[in-house]
């Protein structure tokens, strides 16, 4: 049993871990993916942004996992003015569009991944969003944990450790230390859960794991951030496993070929 922390941010993770332990056995019964991937189907999907963006990378990984054909419209998200079609600007006044399918436009990367999994349930990785209500509820708990507990400190570290040096912005070492401490608390809970299961939501790779990839990769690629993962045996094993997935390797290749604002 994982001890509850006095830190209010840990209470959600503690509740999640209890929910997860109760449902892990059911999650283990998910049907295995076919070893022979289907050919991608043309679905009229468009992604706007740079692969270097963690939000865009999350969506691209989901698209590759689902074996869906899509068009990537590259936009430098670090510029104030985005060169977007006017009809898209009207749908999203901020101009931060990342996904379009027909007349539907979505801007939240996690919502986009959910949409792809529910809109195309039989394409590619069918287990990505669970195959039953219990599995999906567990995955949703982890998506909340990632968004509320993991992402705030990890995204801050990504900015200071990976992006700031390339943008000639001085690193804020106090902020780095503060967010390292917060992320350590989250990863300690993850390490305990991953000691019992191969992946976060059970024995199958799902959106719960996928959503952690973009921030984790940037942190692990930095000298200072790497130890946050490698110093925890189960977290290190988990990240090594999910980062070797073909879908994620394709995204990393795209990031290296077109680093966006770093070009």
Residue 224: C-alpha distances to residues 90, 185, 191 (Å):
42, 17, 19
- Mark whether 115 and 193 lie in a shared domain: no
Q: Indicate whether 68 belongs to any domain.
A: yes
Q: Which of 91, 120, 149 is the last residue of a domain?
A: 120
Q: Indicate whether 17 belongs to any domain.
A: no
- Mark whether 112 and 183 lie in a shared domain: no
Give the model confidence (pLDDT) of 206-222 as tens digits: 999 999 999 999 999 99
* Nearest CA-CA partner of 99 in 144, 137, 141, 43: 43
**Cα dihedral 210→7→164→220 (10° resolution):** -40
179 in Cβ contact with 150 (< 8 Å): no
Which DSSP category does 32 fall into?
P
Residue 183: C-alpha distances to residues 146, 160, 229 (Å):
11, 14, 10
Q: What is the total count of domains within the chain?
A: 2
Residues contacting 191, CB < 8 A, separation 6+:
232, 233, 234, 235
Q: Which of 120, 148, 171 is the last residue of a domain?
A: 120
Rounded average pLDDT over 146-161: 96
Average pLDDT, the chain: 81
d(CA 121, CA 46) in angstroms, rounded, equals: 18
Residue 60: C-alpha distances to residues 22, 52, 155, 202, 249 (Å):
32, 11, 18, 23, 11
Q: Write out the residue range of the structural domain in which residue 165 sits.
A: 133-253
CATH number at residue 110: 3.40.30.10
Instruction: Identify the helix (H) or strand (E) that includes residue 128.
Output: none
Rounded average pLDDT over 163-182: 93
Order of strands across the sheet with 104-106? 68-73, 41-48, 99-101, 104-106
Q: Which of 120, 150, 168 is the last residue of a domain?
A: 120
Global pTM value: 0.79
- Mark whether 205 and 97 lie in a shared domain: no
Is the pLDDT at 21 greater than 50, yes or no? no
Lowest mean pLDDT among 26-40, 88-102, 154-168, 241-255: 26-40
Is the pLDDT at 175 greater than 80, yes or no? yes
205 in Cβ contact with 242 (< 8 Å): yes
Q: Indicate whether 234 belongs to any domain.
A: yes
Q: Indicate whether 4 belongs to any domain.
A: no
- Is pLDDT larger for residue 18 or for residue 113? 113
177 in Cβ contact with 218 (< 8 Å): no
Q: Indicate whether 11 belongs to any domain.
A: no
Q: Indicate whether 244 belongs to any domain.
A: yes
Max alpha carbon distance in the chain (Å)? 54
- Mark whether 82 and 188 lie in a shared domain: no
- Mark whether 91 and 172 lie in a shared domain: no
d(CA 210, CA 47) in angstroms, rounded, equals: 17
Is the pLDDT at 226 greater than 90, yes or no? yes
* Bridge partners, 48 (sequence order): 73
Q: Indicate whether 72 belongs to any domain.
A: yes
Q: Indicate whether 229 belongs to any domain.
A: yes
């Amino acid at each position: 049993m994982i001890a509850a922390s006095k830190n209010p941010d840990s209470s959600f993770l503690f509740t999640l871990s209890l929910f997860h332990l109760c449902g892990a056995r059911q999650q283990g019964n998910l049907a295995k993916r076919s070893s022979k991937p289907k050919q991608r189907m043309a679905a009229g999907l468009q992604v706007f942004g740079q692969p270097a963006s963690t939000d865009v990378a999350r969506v691209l990984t989901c698209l590759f996992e689902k074996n869906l054909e899509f068009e990537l419209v590259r936009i430098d998200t670090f510029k104030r003015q985005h060169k977007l079609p006017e009809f898209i600007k009207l749908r999203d006044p901020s101009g931060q569009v990342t996904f379009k399918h027909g007349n539907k436009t979505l801007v939240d990367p996690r919502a986009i991944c959910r949409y792809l999994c529910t809109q195309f349930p039989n394409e590619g990785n069918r287990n990505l969003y669970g195959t039953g209500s219990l599995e999906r509820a567990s995955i949703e708990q982890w998506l909340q944990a990632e968004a509320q507990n993991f992402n705030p400190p990890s995204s801050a570290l990504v900015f200071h450790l990976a992006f700031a040096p390339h943008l000639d912005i001085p690193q804020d070492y106090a902020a780095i230390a503060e967010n390292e401490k917060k992320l350590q608390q989250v990863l300690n809970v993850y390490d305990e859960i991953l000691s019992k299961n191969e992946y976060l939501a059970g024995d199958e790779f799902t959106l719960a794991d996928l959503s952690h990839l973009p921030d984790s990769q940037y942190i692990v690629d930095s000298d200072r951030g790497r130890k946050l993962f490698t110093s925890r045996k189960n977290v290190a094993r988990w990240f090594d496993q999910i980062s070797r997935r073909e879908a994620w390797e394709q995204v990393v290749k795209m990031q290296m070929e077109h680093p966006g604002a770093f070009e």
